[in-house]
Amino acid sequence: MLGITLSGRYKIVQHLGGGGFGQTYLAQDLQLPGNPLCVVKQLKPQSTDPITLQTAKRLFDREAQVLYKLGNHNHIPRLLAHLEQEQEFYLVQEYIEGHDLKQELPRGKRFSEAQVIALCQELLTILEFVHQQEVIHRDIKPANIVRRKLDGKLVLIDFGAVKEVATQTVNSEGHTTLTVAIGSPGYMPSEQLRGKPQFCSDIYAVGMLCIQALTGLPPNQLPEDPKTSEIIWRDQWQHNTPPEQVQASHKLADVLDTMVRYDYRQRYQTAAEALQVLTSLTPSHSSPTTISASQVIFTASANPSESTATYSAPSPISDSPADSPIEMVEPTQAPPSQQQRTPDASVNLLQEKVGNETSARLVATSRNKSYKLFGMGAAITTAVALTVGIYYFHGLTLSATENQWSQKMSLSKTLTGDSNSTNPVAITPDGKTLATGSEEGTIKFWNLQTGELKKTFKGHTSAVNVIVFSPNGQTLASGSADESIKLWNLNTEGVLHTLSGRSKGISAIVMTPDSQTLVSGDRVGNIEFWNLKNGERINAFAGHEILVTSLAVTPDGQTLVSSSQDNRIKLWDVKTGQLIRTLTAADSHHFFSVAISPNGQQIASGSWDGGIRLWDLKTGKLTQILKTDSAPIDTVVFKANGQTLVSGSADGSIRMWDLKTNKLRRTLSGHSEAVNRMVMTPDGQMLVSSGKDKAIKIWRSP
């Protein structure tokens, strides 16, 4: 590969490493002034048969879109290009000069409590953004976290999602499977090892990394409790910690224990939740504001067989020493491109002693003041400030961004529906295609960007009441008044199975996140579970007394939520079909819709009385009621980041609610009659609504 130029632009100049997923190279961009460096990852599918290559290309294109979106964050390398050449795939990413945390965490090296809090804060803040984009990293470990030489900040690299291209195969039935579990031993929890990663799987990895920093021991050298499978680590930490600090530091240990629980349901479910708890901690002793390079122990460079995207700059191209002191440059001194990506605020740290404890107060200062911090990086030198302030500033930025999103949302296109007053709608997982159901029993596919009709599926003999795409993007399910459900293969455009049970007019369907199970509800209250692979019915029971209006499944695939015109919301165990609990509200009549928050902790419901009720999924308690003008709420949907709830009303209006303040952000007017269906693209930039006025409207926020 050395000397080869990809796409006439990226010249390979050095081999950096490789492993089972492919090889990594350093390259020069010949089309930019100065020929700046970039990193090229070569990804090789395990099989080269046509079907596998076709599937690999689809996965590769999808993951490239994800990486491109993630690269808008200052602490994630930007994706510069993705290429296909001679049945091999290449990702070109931003080159990050610096060293990985593996060099900061050799065996025996221990961080202070304040340093660990800062490390955890910084990583969780990056994860919060990643998870808002509906992405699980899956391979968080020291070798995949780089301290950037420019400013000492941490950068998260090497997203495991792209490894699907290298490890997937296609079985005899045309289904994609992964040949290995993506992750690294010690940092990978049990559910991820089974091939079912959760968002909190990443939180587990961060917790294990922080425990390593506290104890000086890598995860594979920490024992497990033989009865509970929990990690035993406190004795190692307490053995090397002064007695007077142990009691004061137990809160941090409790947080880390929660992050690494064996049962993922007992962990913090979101990075935001873990951040909030960390923010409440006060370090038991002051952390230094200056750390010299001599305080950092560096080991040999990372194992070249490990898949990683950043490396120390090679000497022929850059002679900057990797262990030189790092200066954190204030925003006014940062390069223009850096200022555009992350506008930082200058801060002044004031520390004051209160009794035997030290607290940090974060005070904003005017921009004409300069403050420079020297040491190995901002994450350690400003540990106390990060503990108090980084979540606060992140929250403000996120809130402002959400407000801009809602204010900029505008009508982009209107598609003409048909005589079907429900006009069911669904969007493919890649956010490119809209599907709509019709009174005539057809399903139409539209280009979501242009509004162009692409194709039509025909098969039902009566109105299509509801449609949904499988999370893996391979199957479409359609439920009809003809009392059948059809499963369509989106590659062959043919019917895989026709499901006919005891249903009397399908009114709601949903698929589990693993794309293995479909659940349907009908107009007389029946609920049925189906195996998507063979089309066989798994379970069936009378779930409600009358019409099932809506179904939703939690992100972990464990719990089904159903709503009905019998004034009840019910929670069911997906695996057993057993009823978990029933939710009722004395002042509510007819629940028309339910949605589950992306973190799986909250249920939103819309009802006849115009109230939007928020419920705690774990306890079943009613936590909040968002009141409108008493017009029935026909549909509700969460934005993927969990910060906004959108409701569609019988008066034709669409409302956007701030879930941090529970206040109305904005009302959209466009439908002349009831809005009864809504769906949003995964990136949250487009909203599709359908109404009783036979109009399907596409809304966009630039």
- Which residues form the catalytic set? 139
Amino acid residing at 260: V
Q: Which amino acid is at 614?
A: L
Separation between Cα atoms, residue 675 and residue 699, nearest integer Å: 13
Q: How far is CA 488 from CA 56, 262, 457, in A?
A: 21, 38, 9
Q: For 149-173, give the DSSP string.
A: TTTS-EEE---GGGHHHHHEEE-TT
Query: Residue 481's closest CA among 419, 396, 435?
Result: 419
Q: Whole-angstrom Cα distance, residue 468 to residue 339?
A: 42
Q: State how far the Cα of 506 lies from the Cα of 521, in Å rounded to an integer.
A: 6
Residue with tokens 């930025």: 397
**Inter-residue contact 14 to 314 (CB < 8 Å):** yes
Dig out the tokens for 657 from the structure.
């609610």
What are the backbone dihedrals phi and psi of residue 299, each rounded to the nearest 5 degrees, phi first? -110, -175
Residue 214: phi, psi to the nearest 5? -75, -40
Q: What are the φ/ψ torsions at residue 396 (nearest 5 degrees)?
A: -65, -45
Residues 6 or more apart from 101 whose CB is under 8 A from it? 142, 143, 145, 146, 147, 154, 209
Distance CA 111, CA 333 (A): 30
Residue of 301, 466, 442, 279 whose CA lies nearest to 362 = 279
Our CA dihedral for 68, 71, 72, 76, rounded to 10 degrees, sits at 170
- State which amino acid sits at residue 319: D
**Beta strand ranges found along 33-108 (DSSP E):** 37-43, 79-85, 88-94, 98-100
Question: Parallel, antiparallel, or unpaired: how do β-strands 145-148 and 98-100 relate?
Answer: antiparallel
Count CB neighbours of 425 within 10 A.
22
**CB-based contact 43:309 (threshold 8 Å):** no
What tokens appear for 428 in the block? 């493919």
**Cα angle at 90 between 87 and 94, to 5 degrees?**
175
Q: How far is Cα 478 from Cα 466, in angstroms, rounded to an integer?
A: 6
Q: Nearest-CA neighbor of 506 among 490, 491, 516, 519?
A: 519
Could you tell me where the DSSP H helices lie in 311-414? 336-341, 378-381, 383-408
Give the 3-state secondary structure of 88-132.
EEEEEEECCCEEEHHHCCCCCCCCCHHHHHHHHHHHHHHHHHHHH
